[in-house]
Structure 1
Amino acid sequence: MDKKLSRIAVLCTFPFPEGLAATVRIISYLKGIKALGVDTDVFIYRPTDLQNKGKSKYGPSGIYQGINYFYPRTRTYSKYKILRGLGRYYYWGVTCYNIWRENKIKKIDFLLISNDFLDILFIFTYWAKLLKIKTIFIADEYPQPIRVYLKQDIPQWKKCFYHFILKRQDSFIFMTENINTFYNFSLQKPYHILPTITDTSRFEGILKQPQAKKYICYMGNMELSKDNVDNIIRAFSFVADKYPDIDFYLYGAPSEKDLSFIQKVIVDCHMKKRVFIKGRVDSSEVPQILKNAYLLVSSQPNTRRAEGGFPTKLGEYMATGVPALLTDVGEIKKYVQDGVQVYIVKPEDPEAYAQKLDYLFSHYEEALKVARYAQVYLHDNFDYGVVSKKMYDFLSNRL
């Protein structure tokens, strides 16, 4: 009799169940797998909440949309740096205990390690092996220093450590083929590509609300090394006078350094009365904000980091029926085409971006037809149910 997938868990450091793109992805594929009769868990190996940001409405453990989640006793980490440093080892130990306890209650078939820090990979890979749990490394970006410092590669010693640890993995799940080539070239282990996934149910029944003024919308974390929103601001400034009835709203919480730079760009472009930084919003508010927009925009620089990733926001944009404009980086064109599902423009070229904005504003009915087709295309190819079933089949074949 063939074995049946019974329980899978994810280990990560992302806030749960509220967070940004990574959290949304985890919820989407676990929700889909849960619907197929599999128990699902998330182990967060350290606190994620800041003391001065207000208390989360969620506890340190619980159930969210059928997904069990476990923090190491607390969601909130200490305001003292030395205590955070010492506490990490305690939190790792508690997380190991949580995994052991849950595995004892009911066997965990797979632990998906959604983290590329070498110490975390090493500790939890070998802990899972002791518990006879299969591990899968799941990654959606290149590691540091490519991801953080925009380097072209990582040091050789780091490659050696990755090779040593990753050859102990059962298999891999990657966002792009480029990421697979980077991590899996010499190992040649079984892998699964999960480019984007969208919980389309979040957007069902969301109706466009009347707005005092039309707005184009960016939604993300505004981390400039990943999303160069300054490119969009400059582009918008070229056409803003031609379309005085449209403003630009940016949603996200950039670092102080990035925020200062963005504010300077707004001032330099004389856009203080047309471009507005709205800050971070609750994930439950995202569908309505996107749906109300006149145009959804994104911009990524042509970097090694962008080459490896895939914008999660693309799926959310397509789910709304609102026209979307993105830059041509990474593997986007493997999945969508310019003028068919979305609109795509050359990266790091504000004039080209401005020309595309002008075209969309002046051919808006055409853009709406493209956006409506995008909804259908997304539902057929990247809805959480469709993507999760493929992931379920991959995992089932690894039992």
Structure 2
Amino acid sequence: MNNNKLNSDLSKRVLMIALSTYDYDARIIRYCKALKEIGVETDIICFRYMDNEKTFETVDGVNVYRIINYTDKDSILRYILFSLRFLVKAFFKTISLHKKNNYSVIHIHNMPDYLVFAALYPKIKKVPVLLDIHDLTVELFKEKWSDRKFKLFKPLLIFTERISCNFADHIITVTNECIDKLVKRGIKREKISLIMNAPDDQLFTYDDLRFRKNGSDKTFRILYHGTLAKRFGLHYVVEALKIVNDSYPDVEFHIYGNNESDYANELKSLAARLGISEKVIINKSIPHHKVNELIKNYDLGIVTYEPTEYMHLAFPTKAGEYALTGLPIIITELKAIKTIFNNDSVIFVKTPESQSLANHIIDLLQDKNKRKIMAENSVRDISKVSWSKMKEKYIMLLSYYGV
């Protein structure tokens, strides 16, 4: 089906369901934007993250239904209760919306996997259901839980994943490593499509202004934005900053995320103990459409994930966003990441560790030319898997299901 036919068929409509918030979820925003470009209307059921968000509004042509208020999900019990409440409300909201709009496809985003059952009514009506697996539940909970708890619940996690995947008509996931894991657990490879968590090359643009800073701005600013959790290794960066600041006091580490989370508070306490509270600035999350302008204000991006089994499966969108905008990156050498970036594009670390991170930061802040060369090389690498290419795969998949 060509794009002209898609554009002329205004009856086509897609419903997305995500235990997320639309304004801050880059992957979902990219999908909705792609659908708008081909003339397909999109609705999304999600949660209400900020107090000033409306329960319903149209954002850039996307109808956003916020059916539940966000609550802290740091503990597993609170996460399960929150996700089940959302599932029940999404189930009934989907019924009412489908009766009104007669959707062509229902696109569900995990986690959790069992959110796919919110689409039971359209499924009965023969509407195709896509399950988009952003994160593999089994590997993620292996990392979050103790060995004893994980072993106890592992069969249930695998069972839930399997029945959710079997319920869906097709599965989307983010790396080849994730596909391999799903296939090993009995999901048919031909039922899975790879659509990487690639940055939007229309939104994120290269800017070399950071390499032309005038002498009055001596501060070297390091950036991390996204989820705040211990597995992302930001405590090592805070410790590294203490080492750096002993010799180079004009260095700051700016973090954007849930600044009221337990891990954010741990980072604040660590910075206070090290005497560098004024150098570690933890800010609230910002909407996705503002991230490009944000990145332009920084000199170095940090993606220091712990090299766990789960993290080896991930390709962080933020790394792609930093690359597209020309921000040099220090990043953990993970399997999925190594398939994208070469050694001349980023600074790889085997394991995030404070002294080695400090050494790399000092090396880069002293060598502007090295940072510029890295930035140019990383743009080359990420352009091979940018959203323009992933978007084509998504549109082809939808056309197979009649959209």
Residues 343-358 of structure 1 correspond to what in structure 2 (within 5 A)? 343-358=347-362
The residue number in structure 2 matching 1:165 is: 164
In structure 1, C-alpha distance between the alignment counterparts of 2:120 and 2:183, rounded to whole Å: 19
Please report how far the alpha carbon of residue 235 of structure 1 lies from its aligned counterpart in structure 2 after TM superposition.
2.2
The one-letter amino acid of 2:253's match is: F
Aligned-partner Cα distance in 2 for 1:88–1:358: 43
What is the correspondence of 1:1-399 to structure 2 with a 5 Å cutoff? Answer: 6-16=12-22, 18-19=23-24, 23-44=25-46, 47-49=47-49, 54-56=51-53, 59-72=54-67, 92=87, 95-117=90-112, 119-121=114-116, 123-143=117-137, 145-146=141-142, 148-149=144-145, 155-185=154-184, 186-188=186-188, 189-204=190-205, 208=209, 211=217, 213-225=219-231, 227-340=232-345, 342-379=346-383, 381-382=385-386, 384-399=387-402
CA distance in 2 between counterparts of 1:86 and 1:353 reads: 39
Deviation of 1:315 (Å)? 1.7
Query: Which runs of 4 or more aligned residues in structure 1 lie more than 4 Å from their structure 2 counterparts after TM superposition?
Result: 1-5, 74-78, 84-94, 150-154, 204-212
CA contact (8 A) 1:141 1:147 kept: no
CA drift at 1:125: 4.4
Percent of residue pairs bearing the same amino acid type: 18
Q: Give the TM-score taking structure 1 as reference length.
A: 0.82
Q: SS in structure 2 opposite 1:8?
A: strand
Hey, what's the Cα distance between the residues in 2 that align with 1:177 and 1:333? 12
The Cα of 1:31 is off from its aligned counterpart by 0.7
- AA aligned to 1:312 is T
Q: Is the 8 A contact 1:322 1:372 kept in 2?
A: no
- Following the alignment from structure 1 to structure 2, what is the Cα–Cα distance between the partners of residues 377 and 85? 39
* Pairwise CA distance, 1:94: 5.2
Higher relative contact order (CA 8 A, sep 6+): 1
Distance in 2 between residues matched to 1:40 and 1:320, nearest whole Å: 28
Output the CA distance in 2 between the equivalents of 1:62 and 1:358: 47
Whether contact under 8 Å (2:341, 2:381) holds in the other structure is: no
Which one has a larger percent helix, Structure 1 or Structure 2?
Answer: 2
CA distance in structure 2 between the aligned counterparts of 1:156 and 1:270, rounded to whole angstroms: 46
Give the 3-state SS of the residue equivalent to 1:138 in structure 2: strand
**Inter-partner Cα distance in structure 2 for 1:139 and 1:120:** 11
Distance 1:7 1:317, change over 3 A: same
1:174 and 1:354 mapped to 2: Cα distance? Answer: 35
TM superposition shift of 1:283: 3.9
- Mapped to 2, the partners of 1:264 and 1:112 lie a distance apart of 41
Runs of at least 5 residues in structure 1 that lack an aligned partner in the other structure: 79-83
Distance 1:346 1:164, change over 3 A: same
Q: Which amino acid aligns with 2:42?
A: T
